[in-house]
Amino acid sequence: MSFCAFADGNAMFGSTPVENMFILEYMPAAPGDFVRVYLYGLMICNHPEMGEDIDSMARVLRVDRDTVLKAFRYWEREGLVMKLSDNPPTFEYISISHQVASGEPMDDVYRYRSFNQDLQMALPGMMLESHEIRIANEWLDILHLPEDVVLMMVRAEVQRRGSKLPSPRTLFKYLNDTALEWAKAGVSSIREAEEFISKSSAAFQSAASVVKQFGLSRTPTKDEVELAEKWTNEWKLTKDDILRACADTVKSANPSFAYLDKILSSKMGDGENEKLRSEVKKLIAHLGIISRPTDAQLKAYQEFLGMGFDFGAIEQAAIWCGENNRHTFEDIARKLEQWKKIGAFTLQDIEEERRVQKQFTDITLSIFERCGIDKKVAKSDISLVKIWTALIELDAILFAAECAMGTDSPMKYINKLVSSWSAKGIKTLENARKEFEAHRQAASAAAPGGKTSAYAERNVTEEEFETGFYVDVMNRRRTGE
């Protein structure tokens, strides 16, 4: 059997026909020697006696055997020949006109012809075989990477390796791993590819520098580059940071990336622990304690962080404890629990709460002045005022305070008025005045010369002040409800 033959049913003897589709679509872009090989092989399909094997074709065309094999691999990628065997190499020519006549669309026969040509051009000096072409086409079909993204990936790898390109099989094994990584990362555009390459490039350069530092004359492996990506992208270490850590690997007879990774991991952990110790030292100082941080204190501090508090909030709790003669981390924990109930987890939250607290303290003092109370503002007083301001306007509350002047229990009397007005939908000063006057006249008419009847009193319990009602009112104020 000749090493070239027409597919069954397509032999045309007596001449060597060249299809116009080949001349118009395929020949212009093909290298000259590859065209000569294709045409000579086409003639052998008609006249098998003209050629016995690859070597005889090479002698006739005055090229070497490798050029003939490269030519057939090229036409195989173009979809015009099919390899039947490797030893000896035999090929079957595929008729373009037969494909068209059978109604089979050319795009379905060879969808990635243009892509494969661009792929070959991206790998100068390397002749791809069907195995590599199939892998690259799978990146498009299975991984759904865009063609331009794949070509950028290949060109970036060629640029990175420079003149030291490995064999096609080795290169495509590495490229296949890279394609899987890109697909997993969701790279789907040139911009995303450029960002990914930028990160990978920094990691590769770091890995290559470590390899050189170890005295090795090779490129870093994929596993080594992945470790370098962790150091540069996750841990934010510079190449200089990594190379400085290489100095510690002299303790090992055979320094490796794995050993270096342990050294860097230890340094990262030491840095984090030192940060925690430094912050706990500040807390201890605020509490008025002179000692080094204990393991229990470090653990307690980490629990505070785990609750969602930032250092600023925890430090404020420690300052408050120190100022109020409380000197333990349990005291800090109790203060943080109070802030947790009102949703204050950051220094900014606490400063806002203090601002609100001062505002209500000032309002309470104004109420005391209007109703004749002479005492310090208590927490329960502020809690009542917060409830009142959630129910009616401040001017109406201050009017209620004026009405409570001279009563036995001014705060309770104000609470009666506010509760009654709120129940009737009265919120403004004007309506409060009208309601109060109407109620006084009605009470006077019902009991001439008698004492004006009091409003129905609503007793607000301490539990309402300190738990649900108070927190609900504050939350509604903060969210603008």
Query: Do 120 and 104 share a structural domain?
Result: no
Query: Do 277 and 162 share a structural domain?
Result: no
Query: Do 103 and 41 share a structural domain?
Result: yes
Q: Are 364 and 395 in contact (CB under 8 A)?
A: no
Query: Do 383 and 442 share a structural domain?
Result: yes
Query: Do 332 and 253 share a structural domain?
Result: no
**What is the number of other CB atoms lying within 10 angstroms of the CB of residue 420?**
20
Query: Do 183 and 127 share a structural domain?
Result: yes
Query: Do 315 and 373 share a structural domain?
Result: no
Q: Please work out, in degrees rounded to the nearest 5, the angle formed at the alpha carbon of residue 218 by the alpha carbons of 213 and 224.
A: 70
Pairwise CA distance, residues 70 & 34, whole Å: 8
Residue 52: give its domain's CATH number. 1.10.10
pLDDT of residue 141: 85
What is the domain extent for residue 192?
113-263
Q: How many domains are contained in the chain?
A: 4
Query: Do 151 and 71 share a structural domain?
Result: no
Integer CA distances (angstroms), 279 to 292, 316, 372, 407, in order: 12, 13, 48, 53
Whole-prediction pTM: 0.36
Residues 6+ apart with CB under 8 A from 280: 293, 297, 298, 301
Query: Do 256 and 123 share a structural domain?
Result: yes
Angle between helices 65-77 and 130-141 (to 10 degrees): 20
Q: What is the mean pLDDT of each run of 10 residues along the chain (481 residues)?
A: 53 68 81 90 81 84 89 81 84 74 48 82 80 86 90 88 80 88 88 79 81 83 82 77 80 77 72 74 88 82 85 91 91 90 85 87 92 88 89 92 89 91 91 87 67 45 40 42 46
Q: Are 167 and 131 in contact (CB under 8 A)?
A: no
User: Domain end: 300, 318, 341, which one?
Assistant: 341
Q: Report CA torsion sign: 230, 233, 237, 243.
A: positive
Q: Report CA torsion sign: 268, 270, 271, 275.
A: positive
Query: Do 423 and 299 share a structural domain?
Result: no
Which amino acid belongs to residue 394? Answer: L
